[in-house]
Amino acid sequence: MSLKLAERVATLKPSASIAAKKKVTELLAAGRSVIDFTIGEPDLDTPGHIVEAAIAAMQRGDTHYTATPGTPALREAICAKLERENGLHYSPDHVVVGCGAKQLIFEAFAATLTKGDEVIVPAPYWVSYPDIVSLNEGAPVIVECGENVAFKLTPAALDAAITPRTRWVILNSPNNPTGAVYSRDELKELTAVLRRHPHVWLMTDEIYEHLVYDGQTAVNALQVAPDLADRALIVNGLSKAYAMTGWRIGYAAGHKDLINAIAKLLGQSTTCPSSISQAAAIAALTGDQSCVKEARARYEMRRGRMIELLDGTPGLRIGKPDGAFYLYPSVAGLIGRTTSSGQILKSDLHVALYLLDAANVAVLDGTSYGLSPYLRLCFATSMGAIELGCANIRRACEALF
């Protein structure tokens, strides 16, 4: 019996970050010592009071299906969070909970895109945006946002990218992979462009919202342009700030009709998020927030140390990210260099493979994020791994000169 795969699956690329993590896992299982700077996941454990809330939920029999868009208690907690931290007012019927923010991004596009509809994706971008758009028959419109514009979408570039087929623009702030954070003034200028194009919806991916450094805070576009609320979708989750990646809880807030459409799709796929994870999420959002502050302080310290250790490395140009937990250094100075085995480094992918071979350090290439030649290095790992990994990277780069 032969199986014929649908074209949308046959042409789909695997997630670059997941593929890299799989490769690292295989190397470790084979006995190779590898320092992993690839996967965007906190190395911290979920805070104790959140775990205890999940255990309590199980013990009281809270182990059944819930309402498809999430329990009323969790949606109330999300509304309270948006009011308290962002100054945004939503009622529970404007909120939906999913099995991670990624699922909600997928379902939002599934609910709104028809063949050929365009979605503006600023690059560098999170690896899944273009593929999720394509899977839903949309056309990703990649707008390059280089170092010269601090890796941010400019009003002029946004205006130039909009066509009559544009349905969405995605803003990810703090950004994966660059750590760029849009300021209030920058968001005012971008939303002013959107006002001139009422057919374009705005999706804000704020999964790194709490991971902003140097005393700054992340600003939501609707805080500066509340009039756009009826054509905006806020996407967030608990994975990064609360070290809850494995719990798979994300949420979205937006127009009631869109939220209902997303819930309808969820009802035919996952039915509902885990009841246990939802109980844990309530504890995360309503409980002691000192765990978030402590995690942010730890990541900020690691950011500083990684920059310090890599600064001055031949061939690398290091920037200082304002948020998230990644460095996105340029490796333009390494392109064209020849390794000891005679291989010429022709791209950032070649550089990433070279570092894995010569330094036993796994990183991700900028090609996967839509802008080369760069590497993404995650500093949400132990200080010991940062110290050793950066020392190995420096030695490997020095060997090329």
How many other C-beta atoms can be found within 10 angstroms of the C-beta atom of residue 88? Answer: 18
> Tokens standing for 175?
């950004």
> How far is the C-alpha of 124 from the C-alpha of 179, rounded, in Å?
10
Contact criterion met (CB below 8 Å) for 97 and 151: no
Closest to 133 (Cα-Cα) out of 111, 106, 153:
106
Determine how many CB atoms are found less than 10 A away from the CB of residue 185. 10
- CA separation for the pair 71, 59 (Å, rounded): 18
CB–CB of 109/132 below 8 Å? yes
User: Would you list the domain boundaries of the chain?
Assistant: 7-45+291-398, 48-286
Cβ neighbours around 351 below 10 Å, total: 28
Residue type, 311: D
Sign of the dihedral defined by the CA atoms of residues 344, 30, 127, 10, in that order? positive
Topology at the third CATH level for domain 48-286 = Aspartate Aminotransferase; domain 2 (3.40.640)
Burial of 258 (0-12, 13-18, 19+ CB in 10 A): buried
Confidence (pLDDT) at 6: 86
Query: Which amino acid is located at 285 in the chain?
Result: L
**Sign of torsion over alpha carbons 215, 320, 234, 40:** negative
* CB contact set of 304 (below 8 Å; sequence gap of 6+): none
Its CATH architecture, for the domain 7-45+291-398, is Alpha-Beta Complex (3.90)
Token readout for 28 is 């470790």
Dihedral over Cα of 132, 105, 205, 385: its sign: negative
What token pair was written down for 325? Answer: 């937990």
- The two tokens of residue 39 are 């996967």
Beta partners for residue 140, in sequence order: 119
First to last CA, the chain: 55
Query: Using one digit for the tens of pLDDT, what is the confidence trace for 350-391?
Result: 999 999 999 999 999 999 999 999 999 999 999 999 999 999
Q: Which residue has the tokens 């190779």?
A: 32
| Tens-level pLDDT at each residue, the chain (401 residues) | 578 888 888 778 777 666 777 777 887 788 888 999 998 999 999 999 999 999 999 999 999 999 999 999 999 999 999 999 999 999 999 999 999 999 999 999 999 999 999 999 999 999 999 999 999 999 999 999 999 999 999 999 999 999 999 999 999 999 999 999 999 999 999 999 999 999 999 999 999 999 999 999 999 999 999 999 999 999 999 999 999 999 999 999 999 999 999 999 999 999 999 999 999 999 999 999 999 999 999 999 999 999 999 999 999 999 999 999 999 999 999 999 999 999 999 999 999 999 999 999 999 999 999 999 999 999 999 999 999 999 999 999 999 99
Of all helices (H) and strands (E), which one includes residue 160? Answer: helix 155-161
Q: What is the pTM of this model?
A: 0.95
Residue 177 CB contacts under 8 Å (≥ 6 apart), including other chains:
124, 126, 324, 326, 328, 364, 366, 369, 374, 376
Q: Which of 364, 324, 387, 393 is CA-nearest to residue 22? A: 364
The Cβ-side half-sphere exposure at 312, using a 13 Å CA radius, reads 3
